[in-house]
Structure 1
Amino acid sequence: MRRRPARVLSLLTALGAVGALTAAAGPGTAPATGSAEPPPKSPVAVGNGGAVSSVDPDASAAGIEVLRRGGNAVDAAVATAAALGVTEPYSAGVGGGGYFVYYDAGSGRVHTLDGRERAPLSAGEDLFLEDGEPIPFADAVTSGLSVGTPGTPATWEEALDAWGSTSLRTALRPAERLARDGFTVDETFRDQTAANEDRFRDFPASAELFLPGGELPEVGSTLRNPDLARTYQRLGREGADAMYEGELARDVVRTVRTPPVAPDAEREVRAGDLRMADLRDYGVRDQKPTRIGYRGLDVYGMAPSSSGGTTVGEALNILERYEGGDGARADAGAGGSAGERERLHRYIEASRIAFADRGRWVGDPEHADVPTRGLLSQRYADSRGCLIQDDKALTSPLAPGDPRHPEDCGDGGKAAPLTYEGESTTHLTTADKWGNVVSYTLTIEQTGGSGITVPDRGFLLNNELTDFSFAPADPDVPDPNLPGPGKRPRSSMSPTIALENGEPAFALGSPGGSTIITTVLQTVLNHVDRGMPLHEAIAAPRASQRNTEQTELEPGLWDSPVRAELEALGHSFKANPEIGAATGVQRLDDGRWLAAAEKTRRGGGSARVLDPSDS
């Protein structure tokens, strides 16, 4: 029998809450997409036949529809992602990119696709410099300069061709219908639109789509996107090549090179240098995942250009040295707990150390020497973990170590600053009746991306290139994340799959910019070390330390007595109302799936299973 965190087994008998939540989600077979009334939300569902979890009920329903028709986890992931491009257009869409992690039940192997956006082939290290100085960040965001070559359509097609059971055309049909018929605007969508209102008004295509009649969309109204429906039709008919060659590609290039700004706009919108050659040259990378062992689990993640797999992995390796890591040992229940103060202290310090190394070493491995193996070695983690003292906090910025030449408690020079990453990202997780699992994080970067909608195409363009360092923090310290021709900017996206004895134990991921890494790390620790069922591990209050002076705390920890205890050790905190918005799936010992999503963050998520059960 596969080992599970102790509290997971109690889930099978504590059916009051789970049964009620599952019932609230409604039957998994109920049709949902294409209607003005969205399906109900639930943060947890348990059952058979496969599972889908995302931030949005229409998107999760699209994935369930594909599973109901006999599709597998990959088919469902693409369908869910495409639907998120309709209902979460400020977070994801065909104008962006992402990272796709897949467990193949037939072979027992984990595969990954790097669908990250790329800089134009003409880009140099001075991409965001004028007169030798970095341009204002906000100016870079809302510009053609920030737009990287989109990777999402190519990722969908690559995944379906390699592991799917259906065509891109079939996988896109639920989202095409949803875009044509419309979805119901909720408070989160209206708030995000309001935050972008000034930007959208400067771009006629964005204003026409997201400010119908010149006004913010009302909560409860139906928003339709017939242009995106036609774009999905074209992609289904012509394949992903439609984004990289031909009429649609020319529209993307034209929009980047000559941003369509309103005549009365006062905003200076810089043009980008994206060309047809950049789109034609784009390719998804099929690469090996990162892999580390933790408490008997094999934890797989995304290798660079994402920093998610290396940073989560290094932190887990550091915490492996402790009995029970950040708390009680997974197979020891609640006994042996080091206490909440020690647990949070060690988690914060491990994250601080891993982020120090991330900033110095991680970038696009095709353009920089990234010591991935060294960063993930237990020897290196032990050499860095010796910095942690149980009676005193470290201070940031902490200098990195050198994974090429590990020295106990050594450092490798000056600390690199934390670069800003937009939080407008989304994550979905799917599983099927055959045991295949997908963990997929996708994004357009900032909330609303660049703010620029491709006219008549129905989607926003990304601003992913602002994830690059605009200039070296120190001319004497190499920066692996400076812009370059065809280079992928460093990302924090951390889609993760954990196996036990070669079989899926759980999978998860989150949006949230650089807080993605800490959200995934803390959720893994909650689940594995504290024995929380996955939905409880996701709901628990979060802390995020990213080698910055202060650690961010959600209200559940900010208002807790443990804050004062940690401050007595030297920790400094600031409040953050909401960190991340995770989704995941967990395989229970009886073979059923538990789908898990947020209970309240981002308005709550949508966990669905194909065939719900109560026992």
Structure 2
Amino acid sequence: MRESPLQNRESPLQNPKSPLQNREFGYKKGMVVAAHPLASDAGLAMLQKGGNAVDAAVATAFVISVVEPFSAGIGGGGFLLLREANSGDIRALDFRERSPLAATRDMYLDENGQVIPRASLDGHLAVGVPGTVAGLYEVHQKYGQLPWATVVAQAISWANDGFPVGEYFVYSAEQRREVLLKNPAARAIFTKDGEIHAVGDRLVQPDLGKTLQQIAANWQSFYTGEIAQAIADDMAKNGGLITLADLKAYQPIWREPVCGLVLELRVCSMPPPSSGGVHLLQILNIITAKPANDSETIQSWAWQDPKALHLLAGAMQIAYADRSLYLGDPDFVTVPVQEIISPIYGQQRRQEIDLGRARSQTEVKPVDEATLKRLQAGESENTTHLTVVDQDRNVVSLTFTVNGNFGAGVVTPGTGILLNNEMDDFAIAPLVPNLFGLVGDDANAIAPKKTPLSSMTPTIVTKPQEGDRFFMAVGSPGGSTIITTVLQLILNVAVYDQDANGAVSAPRIHHQWLPDKLWIETGTDGGEFDSGTLAALENLGYSLDLRDTWGNANLIIQTKDGFLDGAADPRREGAARGF
């Protein structure tokens, strides 16, 4: 076994376990929080074998690929943030899906320049070149301690032996029933003679088990071997664009994380081609700025005070308007990252927010009436996030995805690999919304070998005034709501002093500029916004959109005395595991 650059150091004392099922508190040796208990168990097993946070994260991600294929998997891609305990350095890995070499800017438009309905969402043409396997191998070969085959083994077992499907699996499959039934390989796996599996049915995936065994023996088989050939052949037969050349050319990219100092914290997150880190920091800068004519900041009010929520919503509007124009793949366009995350820019934009009234989308950024009529916000609880902290305080915050529920609804025959529909994350036409209601322009236009813009926001927070010690790691799925979910979890902990379970359970708001609605979450385990608060927001001029729960966040906090406090979102089926 090779020596890992992640070195050991003393760990904190143990504290009693919390009785909450989705929460663990006080473990000294490590913690894993993921969207499925079997995935969290797999990560914990790696830590107990002597592996580090990277080993645990990779094992967790592979098991997610088996037990939550509707959200993420080896047919997709993602982003990872890593904190090295020995140096305190934070690194960002981009293993996001990329457009094929044959992709063109107008590939989803008809002869009249109109968007072809669902062409970027369903079927082979919607698929981007997957990056998950390459990304997981890249981080493991640099930082892992256990053998590669060891971290893949648990996923192989669950694929071959099967696992009982849960309520959210069934719900997600029902949402995509029509598309899954159109693809023979997907139909064979995810239905029983055309009927969606029932809760508790055992889902066995022998083809996926065989594929994972090949990956365990040689990860490159996905990009240059038998697996790659199967993907390319199926694409050629069904109008897809991905070829062997696309797969062979895929490389994950190490990037510099975006970091900023705010609330006496160092907040680091994913840089472009994710919009997550940039706009997370932008919003934090706006809500903590003190404009010349007003000394009030987010810290001026109690939790869920209408003025605090109004300030949050106003900052969200500004950030999502900027996102539509400036964000894209930095390998293709110049993204003004430092300008957007500058505290000075945050203070300038804070001046625009009138605490006495809400602003409409045309005040924040003018758009034409035709564009407003086209906008219908999509919402998906796809994507997944996992968080790992080991005994030495190496930290992994990892978000990965197949984009929409069950991706493109395409399984490569004989492999069990469910493929993504990530091409929809490009701006398929200027100011035409994607699945999540997000719009974009030239910066996020389709081009060969380009990475589509994302909202994924894996984040690591440290405390500079305490030796830059690890304080918090957090992330979430949820499409356009990812950024604002991560934002509110950070505020719940750092400003409102909530523990992990309280922070992740609390109800959330969301505003993404277009459509001009303030989303209000209802039906959470953490309570609801009271009627007086909602009335106050309406009086400020907001059009409220009361929605069922969204997101599936998780986080791990390290307390000042060294205890680990982790929680999975009670909105779904996740679990925290510690020892």
Q: Spell out the pairing of 1:266-305 with structure 2 (5 A cutoff).
A: 271-305=239-273
Residue aligning to 2:228: 249
Q: Secondary structure at the match of 1:566?
A: helix
- Asked whether 1:605 is paired with 2:570, we answer no
Cα distance, 1:168–1:348 mapped onto 2, change above 3 Å: same
Cα distance, 1:526–1:91 mapped onto 2, change above 3 Å: same
Cα distance, 1:188–1:295 mapped onto 2, change above 3 Å: same
- 8 Å contact 1:421–1:513 — kept in the other structure? yes
- 8 Å contact 2:274–2:455 — kept in the other structure? yes
1:337-385 C-alpha deviation (Å, 9 max, x unpaired): 4871111111111111111111110000111111111111111111111
Residue aligning to 1:130: 110
Amino acid at match of 1:149: V
Distance 2:494 2:441 in 1: 37
- 8 Å contact 1:160–1:167 — kept in the other structure? no
Residue aligning to 1:263: none
Amino acid at match of 2:225: G
1:409-460 C-alpha deviation (Å, 9 max, x unpaired): xx99999988867541000000100000100000000101000011111121
Q: Secondary structure at the match of 1:130?
A: coil
Q: Of 469, 491, 497, which residue of structure 1 is paired with 2:454?
A: 491
Distance 2:226 2:529 in 1: 52
Distance 2:287 2:360 in 1: 18
Q: Of 499, 519, 528, which residue of structure 2 is paired with 1:552?
A: 519
- Asked whether 1:424 is paired with 2:382, we answer yes
In the superposition, the TM-score normalised over structure 2's length comes to 0.90
Distance 1:478 1:580 in 2: 26
Distance 1:337 1:426 in 2: 31
- 8 Å contact 1:326–1:338 — kept in the other structure? no
Distance 1:279 1:202 in 2: 25
Q: Of 478, 482, 492, which residue of structure 2 is paired with 1:516?
A: 482
Distance 1:387 1:280 in 2: 49
1:72-92 C-alpha deviation (Å, 9 max, x unpaired): 001100100100011100101
Q: Spell out the pairing of 1:29-108 with structure 2 (5 A cutoff).
A: 41-108=21-88
Q: Secondary structure at the match of 2:154?
A: helix
1:489-511 C-alpha deviation (Å, 9 max, x unpaired): 10000000001122110000000
CA offset at residue 559 of structure 1? 5.3
- 8 Å contact 1:360–1:415 — kept in the other structure? no
Residue aligning to 1:204: 184
1:92-116 C-alpha deviation (Å, 9 max, x unpaired): 1100000000000011100010111
Amino acid at match of 2:512: R
1:286-318 C-alpha deviation (Å, 9 max, x unpaired): 010000111111000000000000011100011
Q: Could you list the runs of 5+ residues in structure 2 that have no partner in the other structure?
A: 1-13, 433-439
Amino acid at match of 2:410: I
Q: Secondary structure at the match of 1:453?
A: strand
Distance 1:458 1:231 in 2: 7
Cα distance, 1:215–1:420 mapped onto 2, change above 3 Å: closer
Q: Of 370, 373, 387, which residue of structure 1 is paired with 2:335?
A: 370
Distance 2:109 2:42 in 1: 43
Q: How many positions carry a matched residue from both structures?
A: 544
- Asked whether 1:385 is paired with 2:350, we answer yes
Amino acid at match of 2:280: V
Amino acid at match of 1:608: R
- 8 Å contact 2:119–2:125 — kept in the other structure? no
Identity of aligned residues (%): 36
Cα distance, 1:279–1:420 mapped onto 2, change above 3 Å: farther
- 8 Å contact 1:427–1:441 — kept in the other structure? yes
Amino acid at match of 2:176: N
- 8 Å contact 2:299–2:495 — kept in the other structure? yes
Q: Of 341, 360, 363, which residue of structure 2 is paired with 1:395?
A: 360
Q: Of 260, 270, 281, which residue of structure 2 is paired with 1:313?
A: 281
Residue aligning to 1:343: 308
Amino acid at match of 1:469: A
Distance 1:425 1:131 in 2: 33
CA offset at residue 594 of structure 1? 1.2
Q: Secondary structure at the match of 1:299?
A: strand
Distance 2:163 2:362 in 1: 45
CA offset at residue 168 of structure 1? 2.4
Residue aligning to 2:148: 168
Residue aligning to 2:8: none
Amino acid at match of 1:274: I
In the superposition, the TM-score normalised over structure 1's length comes to 0.85
- 8 Å contact 1:327–1:340 — kept in the other structure? no
- 8 Å contact 1:87–1:183 — kept in the other structure? yes
Cα distance, 1:517–1:422 mapped onto 2, change above 3 Å: same
- 8 Å contact 2:24–2:578 — kept in the other structure? no
- 8 Å contact 2:223–2:247 — kept in the other structure? yes
Q: Spell out the pairing of 1:450-529 with structure 2 (5 A cutoff).
A: 450-473=408-431, 479-501=442-464, 502-529=468-495
Q: Secondary structure at the match of 1:303?
A: coil
CA offset at residue 468 of structure 1? 0.8
Cα distance, 1:339–1:591 mapped onto 2, change above 3 Å: closer
Distance 1:113 1:166 in 2: 20
Distance 2:303 2:161 in 1: 54
Residue aligning to 2:543: 572
Q: Spell out the pairing of 1:171-250 with structure 2 (5 A cutoff).
A: 171-239=151-219, 241-250=220-229
Q: Of 92, 96, 100, which residue of structure 2 is paired with 1:116?
A: 96
Residue aligning to 2:436: none
- 8 Å contact 1:324–1:529 — kept in the other structure? no
Distance 2:327 2:412 in 1: 32
Residue aligning to 1:446: 404
Amino acid at match of 1:591: G
1:178-209 C-alpha deviation (Å, 9 max, x unpaired): 11111111111111122222211111111111
Distance 2:122 2:431 in 1: 23
Residue aligning to 1:3: none
- 8 Å contact 2:110–2:116 — kept in the other structure? no
CA offset at residue 255 of structure 1? 2.2
Amino acid at match of 1:506: M
Q: Secondary structure at the match of 1:608?
A: strand
Cα distance, 1:45–1:219 mapped onto 2, change above 3 Å: farther
CA offset at residue 279 of structure 1? 1.0
- 8 Å contact 1:45–1:608 — kept in the other structure? no
CA RMSD of aligned residues (A): 2.3
Q: Secondary structure at the match of 1:507?
A: strand
Distance 2:371 2:322 in 1: 9
Distance 2:76 2:532 in 1: 42
Amino acid at match of 1:489: P
Residue aligning to 1:265: none
1:540-560 C-alpha deviation (Å, 9 max, x unpaired): 001110112101111155653
CA offset at residue 397 of structure 1? 4.5
Residue aligning to 2:554: 583
Cα distance, 1:137–1:399 mapped onto 2, change above 3 Å: farther
Cα distance, 1:423–1:220 mapped onto 2, change above 3 Å: closer
CA offset at residue 43 of structure 1? 3.5
Distance 1:125 1:389 in 2: 39
1:222-253 C-alpha deviation (Å, 9 max, x unpaired): 111111111111011012x1111121111112
Distance 1:416 1:165 in 2: 52
- 8 Å contact 1:557–1:563 — kept in the other structure? no
